[in-house]
Amino acid sequence: MSTAESNSGLTPTEHAHIEMLSRHYENKRSACVEVLKYVQTRYKFVADHHLSEIANLLAMSRTELESVATYYNLIFRQQVGAHVILLCDSVSCWIMGRDKLCAHLRQHLGIEPGETTPDGAYTLLPIVCLGHCDHAPAMLLDDELHGDLDIKRLDELLPLPTEPRL
């Protein structure tokens, strides 16, 4: 996280990893989604200066790479919280009550979908069908899939650090 706020560039190790990813394809730019995601795992989001640097490495124009980066649900061009909540909003989860869960999360976290809690702990986002429809409602919390959600389970999974401990 240390470099997320600064304008420092990617490290030599990161360059080497990006080079390795691009070797899987006939041309370098084909690796761009995976490279964006890799940089995101390192810095939580893709900052402007990282986008420019990746574009250079993959022989793309900055605009081309931006057009790809902004196309995808899972690539973040803004700072996100320490944990990203992706709450499914597709049809099976909707039938099984995801709107009530979303309303609870808005109240519990004090933010709207698309926002990050002021302490930087959580970002709440909608996501399309997670393929967990037999356990709807479902969400991804970072990389972990959770199903059969109810309000009690959400509260267990998403503790608020500011809540006084009993």
Partner 1 sequence: METPLTQNIRPGQPPLGIEDYMKAGGYRAAHKALTTMSPADIINLISQSKLRGRGGAGFPTGAKWSLIPTAELPPTTHYLIANADEMEPGTFKDRFLLEGDPHQLIEAIIITAYAIQAHISYIFLRGEYHMAQRRLQQAIMEAAAKSYLGTDILHSGFNLSIHVHTSGGRYICGEETALLSALEGKRAVPRAKPPFPQISGLWGKPTIVNNVETLSNIPHIINNGANWFSNLGLGEDGGTKLYGASGHVRRPGIWELPMGTSLRDIIEIHAGGMKDGYELRAVLPGGASTSFLTPEHLDVAMNYASVEKLGSRLGTGAVIALDQKTCPVGMIRNLEHFFAQESCGWCTPCRDGLPWVEHLLTSIESGEGEEEDLEILQQHLGLLGMGRTFCAHAPGAMAPLASGLKYFRADFERHIHEKHCPWSEK
**Chain residues that interact with partner 1, rule: CB under 8 A:** 24-27, 29-34, 36-37, 58, 60, 64, 67-68, 71-75, 86, 89-92, 94-96, 127-136, 140, 143-145
CA distance 38 to 42: 7
Give the Cα-Cα-Cα angle 30, 114, 130 (nearest 5 degrees).
60
> Which residue, 9 or 131, is less far from partner 1 as judged by CB?
131
Amino acid letter, residue 123:
T
Q: Least separation, in Å, of the C-beta of 151 and partner 1?
A: 18
What are the φ and ψ backbone dihedral angles of 40, each rounded to 5 degrees? -65, -35
Give me the DSSP letters along 24-46. Answer: TSSSGGGGHHHHHHHHHHHHSS-
> Which residue, 31 or 149, is less far from partner 1 as judged by CB?
31
Q: Least separation, in Å, of the C-beta of 136 and partner 1?
A: 6
Q: Least separation, in Å, of the C-beta of 103 and partner 1?
A: 14
Q: Least separation, in Å, of the C-beta of 26 and partner 1?
A: 5
> Which residue, 35 or 158, is less far from partner 1 as judged by CB?
35
SS3 165: coil
